Chains A and B, each alone.
Chain A
Amino acid sequence: MLDTPLINDLSICVATENGSGSASSNNILFKAIFKMGIPCSSKNMFPSNIQGLPTWYQIRANADGYLSRKDVIDVMVMFNDATAAKDIYRVRDGGIILYDDSTPLSPTLKRDGVQYIGFPANKLVAKLVPASPLRAKQRNMVYVGALAYLFGIDMSVIKAVLEDTFGKKPAVIESNLVCIDAGYQYCKEQNFKQNIARLEPIPNGNKGKIITEGNTAAAIGAVYGGASVICWYPITPSSSLAESMEYYLPRLRKQVDGKKAYAIVQAEDEIASASMIVGAGWAGARSMTSTSGPGVSLMNESIGLAYYAEIPCVFFIIQRGGPSTGLPTRTQQADISLMYGASHGDTRHILLIPHDMNSCFDFARQSFNYADRFQAPVFVAMDLDLGMNLWSSEPLKLNAEQYDWGKRLSAQDLDEWTKAGKKFRRYFDQDGDGIPYRTVPGNENRLASFFTRGSGHDADAKYSEDEHDYKYILDRLKKKHDTARKFVPKPIIEKERGVKTGIICYGSSYEPVREARDRLKARGLKTNHMLIRALPLTSEVRDFIAEHDTVYLVEQNRDAQMAAIIKDEMPELGAKLTSILVYNGLPVTAGEVVQQIFEAAKTAKTA
């Protein structure tokens, strides 16, 4: 035990089993901490299973606003017998194990250096809830009460959360409150003490802040971005994005006559959903799908078609553990190369890579502008940690920028072109930027129509196997990609003069790296930082690496996929990169980054 408790710096891990109803309890606990004004985040580490397999929910409350998964667990709610033997060793020395002592604790589950707090959750619930399937679920509410007592969450805050959550169901509020209160009162009566951490309200601490998941933020962004044909196939961890759109579209895009200004279709498979959005993009709608790695594998053919036939469409990719089925419910950033070069032949795509809730929202909105501007498939590259975990965030902010429909010619535009003696040539580089002009079906100008195909074609969209025609299109597509380099979101760079060590990361690694940099600084290593937010790489990436002696590149994959892209495109700078790789399927912690950087630095010194 510490002499003095840490104030507002706590990690709680709840170990239960899938389908036990713990999601509600964990949500209440998390929201209560948020309501107290303490910055917090949660990581749901769940199995690919409906019922019965182990699941962990880790909350971090941190007054300094660090939102990545904490390296250590301060308190473990040990509610799953199947994992108890491992769970006790996941708690830090001096930490707490909270368990249900309705049945005696096996001696094998005892360990030195931690504090055991037992309370009879089963017995308490048995008294309060009639025998029913609900009783097992209510058991989880009891630990919410116990934790509230132990760490200082006021019951009035819990009550307020219940009212926010179940406002229209007073009976549900009451039944939950009774069980939570039972846990609270029991611990109070037993006068349980702990001295590791206290949670104290921070007045206005989370004022104006929201809590959301990246998939929700992206779904709202896609609605604001004008997505009107959404075709998807269920797959973890992306389903909740499309499901959120099913929730928000009727609310946000109402027609006075009740008709829909959108179509959302659950397709028969990923191949169909990708093909549908290609058809819709070709016909002029802002179209999108959401999927994860296995879906991208299936969608490859359509992605290649959209690239070569130059059809705008957006792919939201929520990455999970691969290869193959991999770890369907764990997080990774291992589909970067798959997305960047998706499909056969020479292909290169545009990736927007959000790192927080607001960029999930904004990039989702902007992705349709990029797709239309570049007449190409665009990937919004997220991951499970961003997409399915709760994050406290600044409210979603709407960029006032007008929609960019790109070089899309109306019937009237074509008339004007004709008067000016200009000819519409579908695949011709009129402006020298690699981006051709397009017309969409329904354009009534007699000169508008053309034939789209994934086979070789010339600048006029005519079928051609001519070597010059083929090379012209391939080279122009490359030029288009280079034009995109100038338009995609630039990296965010934080640097101080004289600092010669850089860290690069992207996506959900941002939070742990932000915290890691503070820790490194405290230990004497100052670093500059660059957050990559898109592919293709922009010139700022080159400059940043060139300016530093050593650059650590943090990625959540085994093969250093972003490093490979950088080395491929900027081979002269490759030697400066040292990869920091975390790919165990769990959200990265700052400690993992710090440790690997120190180890790499030590190796470099001794070498």
Chain B
Amino acid sequence: MAEAAKINRLNMTEKEYDGAPSTMCKGCGHDAISASVQRAYWESSIDPRKVVKLSGIGCSSKTPAYFMSQSFGFNAVHGRMSAVATGANLANHTLMPIGVSGDGDTSAIGLGNFCHMMRRNVNITYIIENNGVYGLTKGQFSATADVGSVMKGGKVNDIPAIDLAELAITLGATYIARSFSGDRKQLAPLVQGALAHKGSAILDVISPCVTFNNHEGSTKSLKYVKGHLDPIHDLDFVPPYENIEADYDEGTDHEVKMHDGSRIVLHKLGKDYDPTNKANAIQAIHASIAEGKFLTGLIFYNPNRKSFTDELGLCDMPLADLGQDMLQPPVEALERINSDLMK
């Protein structure tokens, strides 16, 4: 007899949090993130019908379709998701928005809107699936590409990356974490924490691109693989990579070999780290950059700042649900206005 599926406090199985089948390249870090996100919602027993999923344009922005079909989704225009989510949040502050974005969407075309969303501390879980490249347009650098990284065509990036975690701390977001797509043990709880937080929760998740992060000489590079394939295969062939997994302890470093052969070093924050100290958080990021490492874990947390809709003092009932009786002032009020305008 098959074992009964586990259920959460809403009597829902994790399967009920499924979305449409993914169309990402096989082995894409984004799918691993979707799995962690789905797990986090299920573990937290959040009703998918209370969640709105928003995104912009890009590979990452397609992913909200691949988890929680029972939620309303909105794949908006490039870079504007932060503002669209802000509007949706104003219309109905009882819903839980999750924004899924890429590094192009967030750190380039949408940087302004992203900054102002955090400045307002809009209540949102905002996940950046950060791979340093534009995937859908075939491999151009994004603004988070590291100095020295090489584009598919051989071009080397020499402009420093925007560190989105540091930016988020500076601009007023109140929950800032960084993680790695393959570290589900770390990522899923960080997403759960973000879901429980009221305010802008930013998760910068390093998510390897299987297709466009190619380095010359790598035996796993697309070029290498293509060189060993039948030439009639078209240029968009994606080799069947596996997801990269990472599992390591707090306070330790972990080196991860990416699909293209390059290596990154993750440093997981230890138990003694105090995420409520803004200056320390920024310093920790700077120190990790200097050492060539990616700091992972909850980097900054401020539970005291009001979210945007709380700050605005909106009424309890969602604005979207107000009827004419609540919205239309009485006719006598118009008479008073008219009488003021007669003077």
Contact = CB atoms under 8 A, between A and B. Distances in A.
Interface in A237-274: 248, 251-253, 255, 257-263, 265, 267-269, 271-273
A350 interface: no
A399 to B, nearest CB: 11
A258 to B, nearest CB: 7
A463 interface: yes
B320 A283 contact: yes
Which size class do A's interface residues fall under?
35 or more
A267 B115 CA distance: 12
Contacts, number: 214
B246 interface: no
A277 B319 CA distance: 13
B140 to A, nearest CB: 20
Contacts of A395: 338, 341-342
Choose among A209, A286, A453 the residue with the greatest number of B CB atoms under 10 Å from its CB.
A453
Contact of B320 (A251, A252, A440, A450): A440
Interface residues of B, number: 57
Contacts of B70: 446, 449
Contacts of A329: none
A263 B331 contact: no
Contacts of B89: 279
Contacts of A269: 112
Contacts of B77: 275, 301-302, 305, 454
B314 A285 contact: no
B92 A441 contact: yes
A503 interface: no
Nearest to B120: A265
B41 to A, nearest CB: 14
B321 to A, nearest CB: 7
A455 interface: yes
B76 A278 contact: yes
A424 to B, nearest CB: 13
B329 A301 contact: no
Q: Is the interface of B mostly helix, strand, loop or mixed?
A: helix
A398 B334 CA distance: 8
A216 B340 CA distance: 12
A302 B328 contact: no
Contacts of B64: 451
B65 interface: yes
B273 interface: no
A454 B115 CA distance: 24
A283 B49 contact: no
A253 B341 contact: no
Contacts of A251: 333
Interface string A444-474: 1010111111110000000100000000000
Contact of A283 (B50, B87, B333): B87
21 contacts: A210-B341, A211-B342, A220-B337, A228-B320, A229-B87, A253-B329, A260-B314, A272-B116, A273-B83, A275-B80, A280-B88, A281-B91, A282-B74, A283-B88, A305-B76, A403-B327, A441-B72, A441-B92, A442-B49, A450-B73, A454-B75
Closest 5 CB pairs of A and B: A279-B87, A284-B320, A276-B87, A275-B83, A285-B91
Given A262-B319, A267-B83, 5 more contacts: A208-B342, A273-B83, A282-B74, A285-B320, A453-B75
